[in-house]
Structure 1
Amino acid sequence: MTTPPTVTLTLVEGRLDPTEYVFDERATCVLGRSVDCLPQIPDDAHHTTVSRHHCLLDINPPDIRIRDFGSLNGTYVNGEKIGQRRRGLTPEEAATEVYPEHDLADGDEIRLGDTVLRVGVSRPATLVLVRCAQCAREIGDGADGRGGEILCAPCQAEPGAVLDLLLELAQGGRPDLTAIHGYTVTRELGRGGMGAVYLARHEATGVDVALKVMLPKVAANATARARFLREVALTRALKHPHVAALHDAGFADGTFFLTTEFCTGGSLDRLLAERGGRLPVQEALPIAVHALLGLEHAHGQGVVHRDLSTSNILLQEEPDGSRTAKIADFGISKAFDQAGLSGLTRTGATAGKPMFMPRQQVVNFRRAAPEVDVWALAACLYTMLTGQLPREFPRGKDPWQVVLQEPAVPIRRRDPAVPAALAEVIDQALVERPRIGFQSAADLRRALDQAAP
């Protein structure tokens, strides 16, 4: 069996406990003097030049990348300064600056104050020619040590064509494509950085589903595939009126595919766009309560979403004219990322913005506590009522630093018309220090029920 690639940070100078950090899975680390950093640089006289949140490491073994957060005294790699805010700028002003990312290699040394960490990269020595799993175009020699299947960039740019071929092969009886046998695509529903989702109909039953294709940015080896599909299996086990059902999932020819319940009312973010960005309290609260009921069920089964936003709260239009909210994609996007399949995306522009993410998830990427979903749901409710995000994300400002440094703006500063009792609950739910304001979905749901006008 091939040994998976690893990244190791080893203490060369300074005082850290432990003196070595080994990463064999996708991870991010914020380095600095703050107690929530890992590794935490000593908060002592030898490290007064180190910021509380100094720099960010993005790790996807065997790849590792570093970016300074606009620190006062900079971050050094092999003795060269790679980032530092300009003289005279405050930390807040520095956060609007652009600081380049630097890929690190085996043997590179990172210095923060009197602490020096050496990067170690281990990968299998065997090189295997890598070809596109769909068109067989040569992609590389497999020197990154991952192995596995991947699609070339031109094929990744055409997810619809990828799906059409898979459906054709499924019709031919390929056993690894049984999950999508008999489906015909009706139209595209949406597209993102990881792939696309389509409305599809099963020819025999006439049932509509959302058929999602997810395209890895790095080769998907057996370990990564199994890790991701294990997480998918947990989601498949969720059966609840306020959770969009995941029917089936699989992997073939460098592509993951999933069939899920199709909700006729579309997503919450689409509804908000149609309504000018906000909803009245009487309409927003039931959506939030439905979503909290879905969270309660999932958390009770040990499943945490970790990526909840207005885009994956779906709406089902009922025959009596009412609307049911359902949470979709439980843990799917984060599981894809944690399996290393999205490549290095955390520090770059392609990572998007952590608009509905509490700071706990930035400083501890792998953390999957239920309260992070509760915070995110409160942020969705805040957005429904105000048409704005809980935090300010100024154009050009590093969004990850915003999450680390800025608390949520009290909701009545956004809209004084939000009822006071409801505003108090929402503001409490968006507290992050010393811990998130509501630790369970049930607690927040009961508080919203009591505060409802």
Structure 2
Amino acid sequence: MPHPAAVTLTVVQGQLEKTEFAFEERTTCLIGRARDCHPRLPDDEHHRTVSRHHCLLDINPPDACVRDFGSRNGTYLNDQKIGQREEGHTPEQGAATTFREHRLTDGDELRIGSTVFRVTIRGEQLAPAVVRCVSCGREESAELNARAGDHLCAACRTEPQAAAELLLDLARTGDRELRGISGYTLLRELGRGGMGAVYLARHEATGHEVALKVMLPRVAANQVARTRFLREVLVTQELRHPHIATLHDAGFANGTFYLTTEFCTGGSLDRLHTLRGDRGQIPEAVRLYAQALEGLEHAHARSVVHRDISPSNILLHRDAGGRLTAKVSDFGIAKAFDLAGLSGLTRTGATAGKPSFVPRQQVVDFRRATPAMDLWSLAASLYWTLTGHVPRDFPAGQDPWLAVLRAPAVPIRERAPHVPRALAEVIDHALTEEPRIGFETSADLRRALLAAL
């Protein structure tokens, strides 16, 4: 059996106690003098040329990229400087300059201050120089370190509806991998993101409606990655709660992952614009977020952490009387896709977007997920709903991930003075990050929000 892909940093010059850092799974890590860095360089007189948060590594074995964070003295790749803030600029001014990422290859040397790391890349089974798309049959040149597996071409990755319709056509032929979507027809698109799209689908015989989500991997989906992602996703099938959107089925075929979930008729909180900043709607907003916290409490009690809470992942179901009920959706889906290595290198690249609802703990410790991280993200989502702004400032041109590390949340009443003071105090406390996130349990946050009304 072949060894899994790995990226290893070996200290070949410097004073670190640990001399080897091996990464076999999707991760990001910070290098610098700060306590939350890994590898962490000593905070002593020999390393004063190293910034607290010096550079960031984005690793998806066998791929890896590095980007400087506007450090004082720069990062060197094979003796070539790849980033440094201008002389006389403060760390804040340096952070306002985004330096491009650089792909790492086997044998590269990375120098930070007086410490030199040698990069070793061990690849799993790699794809041939020319690969064929499993969906359309088109051939294209394989990217650097492209792995073997079911490959989707660049054109097919931009057509989620075509992928969904093809899966439904294959399901009609009796494909065993697609039993969960057999007999369904697409009705309309509900939304889309960087990895795929969600559609309303109806069963032709029963009329049952579901939300059908298709996810298109940016790298070849080999058996290890498929198994890892689906195992993680199917854990959430056991979650049954009035405030959690039920996951019915999940699978993979033709280079595409699919999931079917409960269809919520009221859309998502990010589309409910009437709640934004409207004083009369504050009680309704708090009520819906309190319901979402009930769903999180149920999941957290079963050691399931969402890891991607945002207004778009809190769905609304409207009953016959027009009353809305909140349901948390997509438990761990995006993060599981990323951790399985299927999203490619996105953490440092332009496709990563702004981490608007992410606590700094989630950037520092990419793989570790705690309930408190979900609570910070939920409080950030409520903040956005009430103000129309995300909690942090993300100045134009500034590296957004560095902003997460350094910029605390702006007190909510500075954005929206109409928010009642008692409620503002709860939200501001929930968005505390140092020394720890303000609330540790869903029940505590829910009680505090409701008591503040």
Which category of TM-score, normalised to the shorter sequence, fits these structures? over 0.9
The alignment partner of 2:315 has SS state of: strand
Using a 3 Å threshold, how does the CA distance of structure 1 residues 95 and 126 change in structure 2: closer, same or farther?
Answer: closer
Structure 1 residue 124: deviation in Å?
4.2
- The equivalent of 1:296 in structure 2 is 297
Question: Matched residues in 2 for 1:208 and 1:3: separation?
Answer: 43
- The equivalent of 1:15 in structure 2 is 15
The alignment partner of 1:82 has SS state of: strand
- The equivalent of 1:62 in structure 2 is 62
Structure 1 residue 92: deviation in Å?
1.7
Question: Matched residues in 2 for 1:353 and 1:190: separation?
Answer: 19
- The equivalent of 1:43 in structure 2 is 43
Q: Deviations over 1:233-281 (max 9, x none)?
A: 1111110111111100000010000001111100100112x55665621
Structure 1 residue 17: deviation in Å?
3.5
- The equivalent of 1:239 in structure 2 is 240
- The equivalent of 2:357 in structure 1 is 356
- The equivalent of 1:392 in structure 2 is 393
- The equivalent of 1:98 in structure 2 is 98
Structure 1 residue 76: deviation in Å?
1.0
Structure 1 residue 138: deviation in Å?
2.0
The alignment partner of 1:189 has SS state of: strand
- The equivalent of 2:170 in structure 1 is 169
Structure 1 residue 123: deviation in Å?
1.5
Q: Which stretch of structure 1 is more off in the superposition, 278-287 or 317-326?
A: 278-287
Question: Matched residues in 2 for 1:406 and 1:318: separation?
Answer: 41
- The equivalent of 1:432 in structure 2 is 433
Q: Deviations over 1:125-150 (max 9, x none)?
A: 76546311112222346872631112
Question: Matched residues in 2 for 1:434 and 1:115: separation?
Answer: 29
Q: Deviations over 1:16-53 (max 9, x none)?
A: 24211111110100111110111111111111011111
- The equivalent of 1:258 in structure 2 is 259
Find runs of 4+ consecutive structure 1 residues off by over 6 angstroms.
none
Question: Which letter maps to 2:72?
Answer: L
Q: Say whether residues 1:207 and 2:215 are aligned partners.
A: no
Structure 1 residue 9: deviation in Å?
0.7
Structure 1 residue 191: deviation in Å?
1.5
The alignment partner of 1:72 has SS state of: coil
- The equivalent of 1:118 in structure 2 is 118
Structure 1 residue 349: deviation in Å?
1.3
Structure 1 residue 71: deviation in Å?
0.8
Q: Say whether residues 1:345 and 2:338 are aligned partners.
A: no
Unpaired segments ≥5 residues, structure 1 = none
Structure 1 residue 359: deviation in Å?
0.3
Question: Matched residues in 2 for 1:245 and 1:94: separation?
Answer: 45
The alignment partner of 1:67 has SS state of: strand
1:129-168 pair list within 5 angstroms: 130-140=131-141, 144=145, 146-168=147-169
Question: Which letter maps to 1:59?
Answer: I
Q: Which stretch of structure 1 is more off in the superposition, 65-74 or 96-105?
A: 96-105
Alpha-carbon contact 1:242-1:324 (below 8 Å) kept: yes
The TM-score, its normalising length taken from structure 2, stands at 0.96
Question: Which letter maps to 1:9?
Answer: L
Question: Which letter maps to 1:437?
Answer: G
Alpha-carbon contact 1:47-1:112 (below 8 Å) kept: no
- The equivalent of 2:285 in structure 1 is 284
Question: Matched residues in 1 for 2:77 and 2:119: separation?
Answer: 10
Structure 1 residue 217: deviation in Å?
0.3
Structure 1 residue 159: deviation in Å?
1.4
Residue correspondences, number:
451
Question: Matched residues in 1 for 2:69 and 2:410: separation?
Answer: 23
Using a 3 Å threshold, how does the CA distance of structure 1 residues 277 and 179 change in structure 2: closer, same or farther?
Answer: farther
Question: Matched residues in 1 for 2:418 and 2:126: separation?
Answer: 65
Question: Matched residues in 2 for 1:356 and 1:141: separation?
Answer: 34
Question: Matched residues in 2 for 1:249 and 1:65: separation?
Answer: 31
Alpha-carbon contact 2:133-2:139 (below 8 Å) kept: yes
Using a 3 Å threshold, how does the CA distance of structure 1 residues 293 and 70 change in structure 2: closer, same or farther?
Answer: same
Using a 3 Å threshold, how does the CA distance of structure 1 residues 185 and 125 change in structure 2: closer, same or farther?
Answer: closer
Using a 3 Å threshold, how does the CA distance of structure 1 residues 294 and 338 change in structure 2: closer, same or farther?
Answer: same
Q: Which stretch of structure 1 is more off in the superposition, 383-392 or 323-332?
A: 383-392
Alpha-carbon contact 2:31-2:37 (below 8 Å) kept: yes
Question: Matched residues in 2 for 1:81 and 1:167: separation?
Answer: 51
Structure 1 residue 450: deviation in Å?
2.0
Using a 3 Å threshold, how does the CA distance of structure 1 residues 278 and 317 change in structure 2: closer, same or farther?
Answer: same
The alignment partner of 2:140 has SS state of: strand
- The equivalent of 2:6 in structure 1 is 6
Alpha-carbon contact 1:127-1:142 (below 8 Å) kept: no
Alpha-carbon contact 1:124-1:145 (below 8 Å) kept: no
The alignment partner of 1:250 has SS state of: strand
Q: Deviations over 1:342-376 (max 9, x none)?
A: 00010011001110000001111111111100000
Using a 3 Å threshold, how does the CA distance of structure 1 residues 275 and 143 change in structure 2: closer, same or farther?
Answer: closer
Using a 3 Å threshold, how does the CA distance of structure 1 residues 327 and 124 change in structure 2: closer, same or farther?
Answer: closer
Q: Say whether residues 1:24 and 2:31 are aligned partners.
A: no
Alpha-carbon contact 1:278-1:383 (below 8 Å) kept: no
Question: Matched residues in 1 for 2:383 and 2:12: separation?
Answer: 46
The TM-score, its normalising length taken from structure 1, stands at 0.96
Question: Matched residues in 1 for 2:124 and 2:224: separation?
Answer: 14
Using a 3 Å threshold, how does the CA distance of structure 1 residues 126 and 366 change in structure 2: closer, same or farther?
Answer: closer
- The equivalent of 1:307 in structure 2 is 308
Structure 1 residue 296: deviation in Å?
0.4
- The equivalent of 2:34 in structure 1 is 34
Using a 3 Å threshold, how does the CA distance of structure 1 residues 125 and 299 change in structure 2: closer, same or farther?
Answer: closer
Q: Say whether residues 1:370 and 2:371 are aligned partners.
A: yes
